[in-house]
Structure 1
Amino acid sequence: MQILLAFIIGAVIGLAIHYLAGGRDTRGAALAPIIGALLAGLVWMILTWAGVGLDSLWLWLSPLVVSWLAWPVVAFLARTRRVRDLNERKRLRLA
């Protein structure tokens, strides 16, 4: 049940990333929180399956740290979207 806390922490950090990272016009508002929540939940699941207990500090710090990996993912997606949009405008002779 505590994995829900990891999902919430990841989503909140993802929301912060959405507003801090550039390229907000290239993505929806839910993308960064979803990526953050998925990363936090995934690392929580892996650590609990590896035998890390609820009393371990590593289990509780991992969602806080791993969720910030959503930033490079969001930056990559924004850069890719801009390049694809530019190529599409060129193809349609709009640019």
Structure 2
Amino acid sequence: MYILLALIAACALGIAVHFVLPHRSLRGVVVVPAIAAAVSAVVYTLMQWSGVGEDNGWLWLASIGGGVVACAVVGFAVTATRHRADAEKKVALGI
């Protein structure tokens, strides 16, 4: 049940990252928080399987922090790719 706390925290911080990153109109609203929650779930589960207890702070730091860092990197990459693709389309169309 503690995994839900990590997922909710990562998703909430993912929403904050969505609004902090530039060009948020070039990506979906749910992309960044969904990535944060998914990465957080995977990290939390893997650390639990490896024997890290729920009372260990590294479990929480790695799962929530890893989710936030991963969603920021992927969100920035998605926006940069979309921005570059849109610029290429404008050049191709002569706009």
Global fold match (TM > 0.5): yes
Work out whether residues 7 and 64 of structure 2, in 8 Å CA contact, stay in contact via their aligned partners in 1.
no
**Structure 1 residue runs without a partner (length 5+):** none
- Give the structure 2 partner of residue 29 of structure 1: 29
Deviates more, 1:64-73 or 1:24-33: 64-73
1:46-95 CA distance string (max 9 Å, x none): 1001111112111122233112211111011100001111222333x142
Whole-Å separation in 2 of the counterparts to 1:71 and 1:53: 27
> Is 1:80–2:81 an aligned residue pair?
yes
What's 2:4 paired with? 4
Q: Distance in 1 between matches of 2:15 and 2:94?
A: 33
Gaps of 5+ in 2: none
Q: Percent identity?
A: 31
Cα deviations by residue, 1:14-68 (Å, 9 ceiling, x for unpaired): 0000011111010111111101111111110110011111121111222331122
The count of aligned residue pairs is 94
Is the contact between residue 10 and residue 33 of structure 1 (CA under 8 Å) also seen in structure 2? yes
**Residue matched to 1:59:** 59
RMSD value over aligned CA atoms?
Answer: 1.3
Contact 2:26 2:79 in 1 (8 A): yes
- One-letter code of the match for 1:46? L
Query: TM (normalized to structure 2)?
Result: 0.89
Q: Give the Å deviation of 1:3.
A: 1.4
Shift of 1:8: 0.7
